[in-house]
Structure 1
Amino acid sequence: MTRRQFPLFFFITCCGFDIVRSTICGACQVEPLPLFLNKRVSVGVHWTKTTSSRAECAAHCSHFHSIRSFGYKGSTGECVAYTEPLTTPADTTYVGETGFNMFSTCASVNHFGSCVTSADCTAAQTTCNEGLCVCNIMHVYSHGSCVQGCSMFGTGFTTFKNKNIDNHNDKIITNVETAETCMSLCIAEEDFLCVTADYAHTANGCILSSTTWYEAPSASHLDSTNFDVIIRNCA
């Protein structure tokens, strides 16, 4: 994997379902949720974008370990990512909307199971983050383990809300509308190896860094309601 490569997505339609194969989540089958036909869920929205197909929508969702489902409207290409797990319409809030349907999404591979608190995460160096056990902020995911040091970085990321790494700003990019775009900019960076990014969700800014969280001094580890820190996983 070179620093210039973008995540790869391959879409195959078979028997009415989409098979999504990507460098993020491997291969998975995207299935409709029949109880949510012509229903738009109103809670747990992570982001909204326009895509060319529901398979592309599912592949974009695979960037985020917190996304549990997505909604897609074929007539407009509207793709909505949700953090709320879906069971039945009675257990969530929704409005009726013709042509807007809910689907399962690719499960992210960089986690160690579900959790309520970090006490539920039994693997070494893991913590509970948005309902999933992931490597804690001082480590990065590598082939089922949490490590400090990657021989090569991949295209997957782990995001921690309300954190940012200070005084290690190798490049600042403005007018970045989504955290996913910030991730893609990190992967595509050619001037240095980007391994950490801060996404300023209140100002649409993306700050790229060649310094990992665990390499930075503790004085650079900040809590902030304006930023989310995006940590790049090993290949």
Structure 2
Amino acid sequence: MRAIEVLCVALLCSSVISVNLNCGKWNVKMMHGFENKRVTEHVMWVEENTESLLECAARCGQHDLAVTCGYNPNTLECVAYSAMFTDPSTVAYVDNSKYRMYSLNPVPSVPPLGICNTSNDCPVADTECIEEECVCIISQVFSYAAGGCVQGCSQYSNTFTKFAGRVIYKHDDLFLTTATEDECRAACVTETRIVCKTMQYSSVSSACVLSSFGWMDVNVSYRGTHNNFDIHLRHCDF
């Protein structure tokens, strides 16, 4: 979850036309060129009766996979998007008077298990260094409650650890075609037909595979490697 500080909230409430604030964990900025345009692509959710831009930004900011937020002060509609938009001519939208789009840009922060150059820099048990970040090894999952690595979760968070080139075979529950890796993660988090524990994404084909099986839930014969897919293991929530 992204923290929302009281000072940031007060400032955000006062600025509806132009917002560009560092708010603890994220930076909110109005997207010029999208005035009165409600984008209809890559929508994660829509909430009615959102009383203010403050409340809308706060709700969007609490979802780690939301990167764009839309708000209309007349209709009180708040919309979260899983993609960033730069040019209205390249996306589908409808005319919507007073509607504004805002980008949610994460401010860099220290990863929960620390930063690293090598795995020797990671002090927590069962961790390794991947792309200068300490992460749980693939047989474990990160738990916010435990502050470390565990096997199995009672409930799942909105965040993942990516293992490039690793896959689970023959345990696909849902197969989707998404434009981006972020959209695939969002699909896993919001899926209700299964408890999505892992997602596998191919940047080559934009294929997105959701599974109710974790790495250690399947027989070792179904764990392997693939040149075009990466597996993302979903973290445990509090």
Determine the C-alpha separation between the residues in 2 that align with 1:206 and 1:160.
15
Aligned residue number for residue 220 of structure 1: 222
Query: 1:120/1:186 Cα in 2 relative to 1: closer, same or farther (>3 Å)?
Result: same
Aligned residue number for residue 35 of structure 2: none
1:122-164 CA deviation, whole Å, 9 max, x = no partner?
Answer: 2101011111001111111112110001111111111111111
1:214 match: secondary structure: helix
Aligned residue number for residue 163 of structure 1: 166
Q: Does 1:28 align with 2:17?
A: no
Aligned with 1:146 (options 124, 149, 157): 149
1:183-212 CA deviation, whole Å, 9 max, x = no partner?
Answer: 111111111111101001110010000000
Tell me how large the CA RMSD over aligned residues is.
Answer: 3.8
Task: Note the C-alpha offset of 1:18.
Answer: 3.1
TM-score normalised according to structure 1 size: 0.59
Determine the C-alpha separation between the residues in 1 that align with 2:231 and 2:106.
26
Query: 1:219/1:59 Cα in 2 relative to 1: closer, same or farther (>3 Å)?
Result: farther
Determine the C-alpha separation between the residues in 2 that align with 1:211 and 1:75.
36
Aligned with 1:207 (options 201, 206, 209): 209
Query: 1:61/1:134 Cα in 2 relative to 1: closer, same or farther (>3 Å)?
Result: farther
Asked if structure 2 preserves the Cα contact closer than 8 Å seen for 1:196 and 1:209, the reply is yes
Task: Note the C-alpha offset of 1:234.
Answer: 0.6
Asked if structure 2 preserves the Cα contact closer than 8 Å seen for 1:196 and 1:231, the reply is yes
Aligned with 1:229 (options 210, 231, 234): 231
The structure whose Rg is larger is: 2
Asked if structure 1 preserves the Cα contact closer than 8 Å seen for 2:2 and 2:62, the reply is no
Matches within 5 A, 1:55-204: 76=87, 105-107=107-109, 109=111, 111-143=112-144, 144-174=147-177, 176-204=178-206
TM-score normalised according to structure 2 size: 0.58
Determine the C-alpha separation between the residues in 1 that align with 2:224 and 2:189.
23
- Give 1 or 2: higher helix fraction: 2
Asked if structure 1 preserves the Cα contact closer than 8 Å seen for 2:2 and 2:26, the reply is no
1:70-115 CA deviation, whole Å, 9 max, x = no partner?
Answer: xxx99859xxxxxxxxxxxxxxxxxxxxxxxxx8724265x31111
* Total equivalences in the alignment: 167
Determine the C-alpha separation between the residues in 2 that align with 1:142 and 1:75.
35
Query: 1:13/1:197 Cα in 2 relative to 1: closer, same or farther (>3 Å)?
Result: farther
Asked if structure 1 preserves the Cα contact closer than 8 Å seen for 2:21 and 2:27, the reply is yes
Structure 2: which 5+ runs fail to align?
A: 13-19, 29-41, 43-56, 66-83, 89-104
Determine the C-alpha separation between the residues in 1 that align with 2:131 and 2:198.
19
1:16-66 CA deviation, whole Å, 9 max, x = no partner?
Answer: 5231xxxxxxx52549xxxxxxxxxxxxxxxxx9xxxxx89x969955xxx
2:123 match: secondary structure: coil
Task: Note the C-alpha offset of 1:178.
Answer: 0.9
Moved over 6 A (4+): 7-11
Asked if structure 1 preserves the Cα contact closer than 8 Å seen for 2:2 and 2:61, the reply is no
